Amino acid sequence: MGKIEGLQVLNGEGYQLSNLEKVVGVARSKSVWPLPFATSCCGIEYMATVGSNYDLSRFGMEIMSFTPRNADLLIVAGTISKKLGPVLKQVYEQMSEPKWVLSVGACACSGGIFDTYSVLQGIDKIIPVDVYVPGCPPRPEQIIDGIMKIHELVKNEPLRRRYSDEYKHLLKNYNIDVNE
């Protein structure tokens, strides 16, 4: 039998053994459905990343989900105003578990050059972020690198992590309701 990429397996004639948690992690990492939340120039760079020159479908991400209930990965690209913050938080809350967040660009990561009263100084003030991609705007290669880091997180995350007390405490810090 063939090898499963990135897993320790015990191969025999007619069978193959591995850890279920690792097999599920590899399967999840190869089928991430992104939800783009793009607001400005970083959104244009993200669109270039999805285009034929960079082709995200190589990584199992050809299906863009424009509804939060079908998405695994929230990609926030661009400037988020304080008025738009509650909308972003609502989109995050509507996503089903497990979910991950990729913050693309200086504006989403830290407010960028817009140190004003109306711009949110980083989306990590309202939702937890898994990977940051800096740049103004970041190149498509940087976005792909951030996506590959998300894939590593997905592949190596324990199945029970989302039910741990530590994870529930993290969500409570962001005032996100946790279903007990």
Which pLDDT tens digit goes with each residue over 23-58?
888 888 888 899 999 888 888 888 888 888 888 888
What CATH number does the domain containing 73 carry? 3.40.50.12280
Q: Map residue 133 onto helix, strand or coil.
A: strand
Interstrand relation of 34-38 and 10-12 (parallel, antiparallel or unpaired): unpaired
Per-residue model confidence as pLDDT tens digits over 69-104: 999 999 999 999 999 999 999 999 999 888 999 999
pLDDT at 2 over 60: no
What confidence score (pLDDT) does residue 12 get? 66
Higher pLDDT pick, 162 / 105: 105
Asked if residue 3 has pLDDT above 60, the reply is no
Is residue 167 domain-resident?
Answer: no
Query: What's the domain count of the chain?
Result: 1
Alpha-carbon gap, residue 47 to 132, rounded angstroms: 18
CB 11 within 8 A of CB 50: no
Q: Is residue 13, in this structure, part of any structural domain at all?
A: no
Asked if residue 178 is part of any domain, the answer here is no
Assess if residue 21 is contained within a domain.
no
Asked whether residue 174 is assigned to any structural domain, the reply reads no
Q: Are 32 and 16 in contact (CB under 8 A)?
A: no
In a domain, 172, yes or no: no
**175 within domain boundaries:** no
- Please return the burial class of 95, using the count of CB atoms within 10 Å of its CB with bins 0-12, 13-18 and 19+: buried
Q: Which domain holds residue 118?
A: 32-156
> Which residue in 99, 109, 101, 100 sits closest to 133, CA to CA?
109
Tell me, what's the pLDDT at 180? Answer: 57
- Tell me what pLDDT residue 84 has: 94
pLDDT, mean of residues 170-175: 87
In a domain, 6, yes or no: no
Please tell me the predicted confidence (pLDDT) of residue 1.
44
pLDDT of residue 51: 83
